[in-house]
């Protein structure tokens, strides 16, 4: 190398060094995800994590992050294990430079453990459509957000749907509704709401718990065969869903009278049952399919660059879309936090404010490439559960497609409201919390 060339190289390096250092220390928005790509529940955890991650990658690739600030995505494997989930939280919460801005645990068990921790660490938890239902009360749970709807909302919607099909809510009297549920904190969530509705509308409620993982459910379905409930609801997860749908088909239970929670309504749950699953229903708060402009953007900016986390042909599956919408709402909350606080270098505490002022209208959904994908969501200081609307989707086994088949029902807040107030007041009392004022 000639001396002049060497001198030029050294000079160039000297000039570039501060720039490189500046780039390396640029502020980044840390979003950890508590994924489960291994273990018994991986088939459900993977598509959700893929949808969430792909959206963050899209923003980094297309927009240079959120409002020009790059996202630092930190994935941590929980295997749907509460203890591992808490370890993930502890290991990632102080990730530099911003610290964790928000957590999406995708597990009711982990969410319950993070509720007290999040208040101490000042990091919001977005348990989207799961977790502790009474966290909807923002005056007691300022750090937890469970919009767009809760399990209790969903239970009231299912009963309304059944009422519609039976010819009116007054026709529910004397009917029998069974609840087949995962014998865990998650599966037990809707019981109180259903019991209250059972007392109000006069239907009898048959409770049938299924232990983890739910591979053998013969005793449960023998009881359903004997009791012959008019309708069966399911709060299941993982292999429990597939086995239940197959067992229901085996005892010739009518699939269009079998309704699963939104976590029991993915392609994974119905495909093993083949044609027998045709007509099965489940709750939903967003559309299935990949026919939205945002999906095209993901294909163009993420998958065409070989940066997709999953398989291209699985974009648009129910749980993929759920991860996607979780990421969209999360990012919108971060944008709102930047707007409120006038800085792009937001921290977890400020992102919480962003969640509390979140307003994703239908017009904004269209701008984001998701027109008609879900409904408008507006969060306030006191209301962390959002509108609570739920539709039902139905499985077409021949076409191998889910399709939304009902309107988005409003939840019965006269049922859920008092329960939320009661449960959150109890939590506040047990934990010495003075509810804050939202006026």
Binding interface with another protein (CB under 8 A)? 37-43, 46, 183, 207-211, 213, 215-216, 218-220, 222-223, 225-226, 238-239, 242-243, 246, 249-252, 268, 271-272, 274, 276
Q: Are strands 71-77 and 125-126 parallel, antiparallel or unpaired?
A: unpaired
| Min CB(245)–another protein separation in Å | 10
Q: Of 252 and 398, which CB lies nearer to another protein in the complex structure?
A: 252
Q: How far apart are the first and last CA of the chain?
A: 72
Q: Of 202 and 209, which CB lies nearer to another protein in the complex structure?
A: 209
Q: Of 38 and 113, which CB lies nearer to another protein in the complex structure?
A: 38
| Min CB(271)–another protein separation in Å | 6
308/143 Cα distance (integer angstroms): 31
| Min CB(275)–another protein separation in Å | 10
Q: Of 149 and 208, which CB lies nearer to another protein in the complex structure?
A: 208
| Min CB(270)–another protein separation in Å | 10
144/352 Cα distance (integer angstroms): 9
| Min CB(384)–another protein separation in Å | 30
Q: Of 9 and 250, which CB lies nearer to another protein in the complex structure?
A: 250
177/263 Cα distance (integer angstroms): 19
70/68 Cα distance (integer angstroms): 6
Q: What is the 3-state secondary structure (H, E, C) of the chain?
A: CCHHHHHHHHHHHHHHHHHHHHHHCCCCEEEEEEECCCCCCHHHHHHHHHHHHHHHHHHHHHHCCECCECEEEEEEECCCCHHHHHHHHHHHCCCCCCCECCECCCCHHHHHHHHHHHHHHCCCEECCCCCCHHHHECCCCCCEECCCCCHHHHHHHHHHHHHHHHCCHHHHCCCEEEEEEECCHHHHCCHHHHHHHHHHHCCEEEEEEECCCCCCCHHHHHHHHHHCCCEEEEECCCHHHHHHHHHHHHCCCCHHHEEECHHHCCHHHHHHHHHHHCCCEEEECCCCCCCCHHHHHHHHHHHCCCCCCCCHHHCCCHHHHHHHHHHHHHHHHHHHHHHHHCCCCCCHHHHHHHHHCCEECHHHHHHCCCCCCCCCEECCCCECCCCCCEEEEEEECCCCEEEECCCCECCCHHHHHHHHHHHHHHHHHHCCCCCCCCC
| Min CB(272)–another protein separation in Å | 3
| Min CB(261)–another protein separation in Å | 18
Q: Of 147 and 181, which CB lies nearer to another protein in the complex structure?
A: 181
71/153 Cα distance (integer angstroms): 33
Q: Of 172 and 240, which CB lies nearer to another protein in the complex structure?
A: 240
Q: Of 205 and 428, which CB lies nearer to another protein in the complex structure?
A: 205
| Min CB(167)–another protein separation in Å | 29
Q: Of 11 and 222, which CB lies nearer to another protein in the complex structure?
A: 222
Q: Of 250 and 431, which CB lies nearer to another protein in the complex structure?
A: 250
| Min CB(46)–another protein separation in Å | 6
Q: Of 272 and 293, which CB lies nearer to another protein in the complex structure?
A: 272
| Min CB(305)–another protein separation in Å | 22
134/140 Cα distance (integer angstroms): 9
| Min CB(226)–another protein separation in Å | 5
């Amino acid at each position: 190398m000639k001396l002049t060339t060497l001198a030029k190289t050294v000079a160039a390096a000297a000039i570039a060094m501060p720039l490189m250092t500046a780039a390396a220390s640029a502020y980044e928005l840390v979003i950890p995800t508590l994924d489960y790509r291994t273990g018994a529940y991986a088939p459900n955890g993977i598509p959700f994590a893929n949808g969430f991650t792909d959206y963050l990658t899209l923003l980094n690739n297309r927009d240079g992050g959120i409002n020009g600030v790059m996202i630092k995505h930190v994935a941590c494997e929980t295997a749907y294990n509460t203890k591992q989930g808490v370890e993930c939280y502890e290991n990632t919460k102080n990730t530099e430079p911003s610290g964790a801005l928000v957590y999406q645990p995708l597990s009711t068990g982990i969410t319950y453990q993070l509720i007290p921790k999040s208040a101490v660490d000042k990091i919001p938890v977005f348990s989207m459509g799961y977790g502790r239902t009474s966290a909807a009360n923002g005056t007691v749970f300022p750090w937890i957000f469970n919009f767009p709807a809760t399990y209790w909302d969903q239970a009231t919607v299912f009963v309304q749907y059944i009422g519609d099909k039976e010819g009116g809510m007054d026709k529910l009297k004397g009917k029998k509704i069974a609840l087949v549920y995962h014998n865990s904190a998650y599966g037990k969530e809707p019981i109180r709401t259903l019991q209250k509705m059972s007392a109000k509308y006069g239907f009898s409620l048959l409770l049938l718990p299924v232990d983890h993982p739910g591979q053998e459910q013969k005793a449960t379905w023998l009881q359903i065969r004997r009791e012959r409930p008019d309708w069966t609801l399911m709060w299941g997860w993982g292999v429990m869903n597939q086995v239940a749908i197959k067992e229901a088909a085996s005892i010739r239970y009518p699939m269009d009278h079998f309704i699963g929670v939104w976590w029991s309504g993915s392609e994974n749950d119905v495909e093993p049952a083949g044609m027998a699953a045709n007509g099965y229903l489940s709750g939903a708060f967003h559309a299935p399919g990949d026919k939205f402009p945002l999906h095209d953007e993901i294909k163009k900016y993420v998958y065409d660059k070989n940066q997709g986390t999953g398989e291209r042909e699985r974009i648009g599956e129910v749980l993929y879309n759920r991860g996607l919408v979780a990421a969209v709402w999360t990012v919108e909350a971060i944008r709102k936090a930047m707007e409120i606080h006038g800085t792009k270098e937001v921290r977890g505490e400020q992102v919480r404010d962003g969640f509390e002022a979140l307003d994703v209208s239908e017009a904004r959904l269209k701008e984001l490439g998701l027109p008609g994908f879900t409904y408008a969501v507006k969060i306030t200081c006191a209301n962390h559960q959002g509108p609570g609307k739920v539709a039902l989707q139905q499985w077409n086994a021949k076409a191998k497609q889910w399709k939304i088949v009902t309107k988005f029902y409003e939840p019965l807040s006269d049922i859920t409201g008092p329960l939320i107030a009661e449960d959150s007041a109890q939590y506040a009392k047990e934990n010495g919390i003075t509810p804050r004022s939202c006026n």
